[in-house]
Amino acid sequence: MRSIADNRLFNMILLFTIIGEFSVPWILERFYAEYNGRIMVMSALGSPQSPVRLVYNLWLIWLGGFLAYTAGAYFLSLRARFPVLAIFILLSIGIFAVGAGLISGFFSVNESKDTVTTASKIHGVGAAIGFMALLLFPLLNGIVSFKQNDTTQGIINISSFVLSLVFFACFVMGDKEQFQNTILKYEGIWERLTLFCMYVPFLYRAIGNLLF
C-alpha cells in the first residue's frame, strides 16, 4: 500500500504549493508599488501597509497548514525504516510550517524594520526559528537517500543543504548596515534562493512520484 507521501494527488498539491511560494509573491508585488522584491522580504507583502496583505497572509496560512500535513505524511512514510530520522524530519518541516507559515500569516511584519510591534516580534521569532529548522531538511533527506542507496538523490540533497547555508548566511548579513552597499543588500533574492534550496527535496520527491 502506497503511503500518503507517495500519493499522486498529494504530490500534485505539494508541487503547486512550492511553486506558489515563489509565484504568489511575484504576482502580488505587481499590485504593491512600494514593494521591491529584490531587497524586501516576501513577508512585507503581508504588512499592514500592503494592499495585498489579506491575500498574502491567507497564502502563508495555507502554506503552513499544508506543510504541517506534509510533515506528518513524510514522518509516516519513514518511521518504519528510519524512526530517528523520521522524527527529525517531522520536526524540521513542522517547525517551519508553524513558525514561517501559520504564525507569520497571523502575525504580520511591518513594511519598515524601524517599526516594531508585538505582532512583528512574534512574526520575526517564528520565521527565524522556522527557517533554521528547515535548513536541516535537505541534510536529513540526504542521509535518508544514502541509506536507501540512492546516491543521485543524496548528492542533490546534500548540495542543496550546502547552498541553502550559503544563501541563508548572505540573507542574514544583508540585514546588516555595513553590507548595504554590497550585493548582500538584496535580501529578497537571498531569501528566495535559500527557500528554493531548502525546498529541493520536496520538488525532487514530488516530481519523481508524478513522473514514475
pLDDT tens sequence across 79-108? 999 999 999 999 999 999 999 999 999 998
User: Sorting pLDDT into bands at 50, 70 and 90, what band is 114?
Assistant: confident
On whether the CB atoms of residues 63 and 16 are closer than 8 A, the answer is no
pLDDT given for residue 181 in this prediction? 87
Alpha-carbon distances, residue 41 vs 74, 126, 144, 171, 178 (angstroms): 28, 15, 32, 10, 18
User: Sorting pLDDT into bands at 50, 70 and 90, what band is 3?
Assistant: confident
Asked whether residue 111 carries a pLDDT value surpassing 80, the answer given is: no
Of 196, 37, 204, residue with least CA distance to 131: 196
pLDDT tens sequence across 179-192? 888 999 999 999 99
pLDDT given for residue 72 in this prediction? 97
> Is the dihedral angle over the CA atoms 46, 163, 202, 1 positive or is it negative?
negative
Which helix (H) or strand (E) segment is 182 a member of?
A: none
Helix, strand, or coil (residue 85): helix
pLDDT tens sequence across 154-210? 999 999 999 999 999 999 998 888 888 899 999 999 999 999 999 999 999 999 999
On whether the CB atoms of residues 178 and 31 are closer than 8 A, the answer is no
Q: Which residues contact 119 (CB under 8 A, 6 or more apart)?
A: 107, 108, 109
Q: Which residues contact 13 (CB under 8 A, 6 or more apart)?
A: 66
Asked whether residue 134 carries a pLDDT value surpassing 60, the answer given is: yes
User: Sorting pLDDT into bands at 50, 70 and 90, what band is 142?
Assistant: very high
What size, in residues, is the chain? 212
Separation of alpha carbons 85 and 92, rounded Å: 10
Asked whether residue 2 carries a pLDDT value surpassing 80, the answer given is: no
Helix, strand, or coil (residue 187): helix
Cell of 93: 518541516
Mean pLDDT of all residues in the chain?
94
Average pLDDT value for residue range 121-131 = 94
Q: What is the number of other CB atoms lying within 10 angstroms of the CB of residue 8?
A: 11
pLDDT given for residue 116 in this prediction? 83
Q: pTM for the full model?
A: 0.94
Q: What angle do CA 62, 89, 131 make, to 5 degrees?
A: 60
On whether the CB atoms of residues 122 and 103 are closer than 8 A, the answer is yes
Which helix (H) or strand (E) segment is 12 a member of?
A: helix 8-28
Q: How many CA atoms lie within 13 A of 9 on its CB side?
A: 1
pLDDT tens sequence across 31-40? 999 999 999 9
pLDDT given for residue 179 in this prediction? 87
Which helix (H) or strand (E) segment is 152 a member of?
A: helix 151-173
pLDDT tens sequence across 47-78? 999 999 999 999 999 999 999 999 999 999 99
